[in-house]
Structure 1
Amino acid sequence: MTSKPVTPESANLHERAGVALLRLVETTQSRLPDLGDIAREMDEPLSRVSEIYATAQCLLVSVIEQSMTILIDSCTRAVVQVDPDDPMGQCQALIEAYLTWVTQHPSQFRLMSDQRLLDVARFESLRRYQDSINELAGRMMYRAQAQGQLHPKEDVPALVLTSRCFVYGVARMIVDGRLCDFSGGNNAMEAAQNITRDYIRRVARGSQPR
């Protein structure tokens, strides 16, 4: 289930529809508005919006896919800037890039994390973005293991899952505005970076042979 191709003539409408959707979801709390709601929010005829999107869910998937493209690009750029001989440093860069994206796209993060609105796993176009981040993290951790930064018997898939849970928790605290309350700071991203560095240090130290 996809939207129709966005032509140059409809690009502005596409952008406005995405903004309207995000604004409505913020106010409706876990209820996906229909196309009529979105058209009214845009002050556009429903017929014009439905020329591009068959349903509100098509629009939602398009908005999330666009945001995840930015996420993947940001994560890739962050990782390649770190010495490839320091895979745990690359893991830290990956986490920080993800959390930076969360601070810049809080509404999109909320949408992705609320299965009542969107089950990302059901849409291959979205799932492949999510899978690519998990696979990247796994590859870096296996390299860290091969280079002695993690214990030879470390369960890497389990560590990737643990790290995903950690990152989700920090991201949730960022969008809820609670991270600074717990960290005692005033800048959420600065607090997130400090927490991430501490997490990476503890993972690496805890994985060393005793």
Structure 2
Amino acid sequence: MPAEQRPYHHGNLVPALIETTIQLVEEIGVEKVTVREVAKRAGVSPGAPFRHFRSKSALLTAVAEQAVERLYDAVTAAQDPALENDPLGQLERIGQGYLAWVRTYPTHFQIVSDRKLIDFHTSEISTALNARIRIRMVDLLTRARDNGQLAPGQDIETIILDSRAMVYGLSRMYTDGHFRDWQPDGDPFEWMKRGLSAFIARLRA
């Protein structure tokens, strides 16, 4: 069935608009996406999306919220109960979950990463889930420091920033297609995991 004839009802209009937005971003680029074009592709009236989203930014913020929800699910699922006595191992698993999320949902990553496109800090869902991930990281690093697992001189706040920069940088390389220039042989995802493992190894005492 053509996209413009896709049936919908009130209960699933918002998910349909989010899905259609993602499809359009992948086809024509986020800059060219308009709320009117999303409505047309979803098979609804031009004014229908505005009942839920007052602007393109609001619509993309909803996409970002879905992105953060899926990121949170990915990093949570990546946690391994067998590593609870190895907090740095669990920290690496958070990073692996993040990278797996990017590989599965690269368009979500691109949208949620561009703060010019979305109103991230006004989203209770996004900020709350982001905070939960950060709290988990602080807890793991505090435990690693207290049990002597961290190398001397390591600062928790700096590690959190470096960890974010590491997985974000690898993810941008992946979504922007840089691996064929820097590591042309093998699966980019495997190179991403190797880079993450090397970073975690340098944290260990």
TM-score, with structure 1 as normaliser: 0.82
What aligned pairs does 1:1-210 form with structure 2 within 5 A after superposition? 9-26=9-26, 29=29, 31=31, 33-151=33-151, 153-204=153-204, 208=205
Identity of aligned residues (%): 26
Map of 2:4 onto structure 1: none
Which consecutive residues of structure 2, in runs of 5 or more, have no partner in the other structure?
1-7
Cα RMSD (Å): 2.3
CA-CA distance at 1:30 after TM superposition? 5.2
> In the aligned structure 2, how far is the partner of 1:122 from the partner of 1:195?
33
> In the aligned structure 1, how far is the partner of 2:100 from the partner of 2:29?
24
Deviates more, 1:155-164 or 1:25-34: 25-34
Q: Is the contact made by 1:180 and 1:191 (CA closer than 8 Å) also made in structure 2?
A: no
> In the aligned structure 2, how far is the partner of 1:149 from the partner of 1:197?
15
> In the aligned structure 2, how far is the partner of 1:180 from the partner of 1:197?
21
> In the aligned structure 1, how far is the partner of 2:180 from the partner of 2:62?
32
Name the SS for the 1:85 alignment partner: coil
CA-CA distance at 1:136 after TM superposition? 1.2
Name the SS for the 1:31 alignment partner: helix
1:84-128 deviations in whole A, cap 9, x for unaligned?
100010011000000000111111111111122124234333122
Q: Is the contact made by 2:174 and 2:188 (CA closer than 8 Å) also made in structure 1?
A: yes
Name the SS for the 1:150 alignment partner: coil
CA-CA distance at 1:72 after TM superposition? 1.0
Aligned residue identity for 1:96: Q
CA-CA distance at 1:142 after TM superposition? 0.9
> In the aligned structure 1, how far is the partner of 2:179 from the partner of 2:138?
27
Number of residue-to-residue matches in the alignment = 198
Name the SS for the 2:126 alignment partner: helix
CA-CA distance at 1:32 after TM superposition? 7.2
Deviates more, 1:134-143 or 1:87-96: 134-143
1:138-197 deviations in whole A, cap 9, x for unaligned?
111111111111035421111111111111100101111223432343312111111111
> In the aligned structure 2, how far is the partner of 1:179 from the partner of 1:123?
33
Judged with a 3 Å threshold, the aligned counterparts in structure 2 of structure 1 residues 16 and 169 are, in CA distance, closer, same or farther, namely same
Aligned residue identity for 1:199: F
CA-CA distance at 1:29 after TM superposition? 4.7
Q: Is the contact made by 2:67 and 2:112 (CA closer than 8 Å) also made in structure 1?
A: no
